[in-house]
Amino acid sequence: MRRIDQDNQPQVTIEFEGKLLAARRGDSVASALLEADQWTFRTTPVNGEARGPFCMMGVCFDCLVEIDGVANCQACMMEVRDGMSIKRQQGAGDIRLPLPNGDKKGDAP
């Protein structure tokens, strides 16, 4: 998607699937990804089908992504934050089980 008006909103930096993206403060994660031309946010648990945002208002639950290691986050309902790390959710959400050394899977090194 492209922005129809330039404004003075500050930018933040987020990471999507390992790539750094510029995002506008105040935008939802969904908007930020759409601006980066990303329309596929996850694959479904049953058939592994690709899905992306549909309603943009928090009622369809198709925009689920993993944010900072937490699964099943609705991208359209979360505002971008500097340093946020976003991953596509592949199938069912993963919970962060403790690794043998006590760290949690998904914690930043």
**Sole binder of other proteins in the list 10, 18, 19, 49 (CB under 8 A):** 49
Phi, psi of 24 (to 5 degrees): -95, 130
Q: Can you say how many angstroms the Cα of residue 40 is from the centroid of all Cα atoms in its chain?
A: 10
The size of the interface with other proteins (CB under 8 A), counted in residues, is 52
The DSSP secondary-structure symbol of 18 reads T
List binders of other proteins among 9-38 (CB under 8 A): 9, 24, 26-28, 30-31, 34-35
Q: Collect all residues with Cβ–Cβ distance below 8 Å to 9 and sequence separation of at least 6.
A: 24, 25, 26
Q: Which residues bind other proteins (CB under 8 A)?
A: 1-5, 7, 9, 24, 26-28, 30-31, 34-35, 39-41, 44-47, 49-62, 64, 70-72, 76-77, 79, 91-98, 104
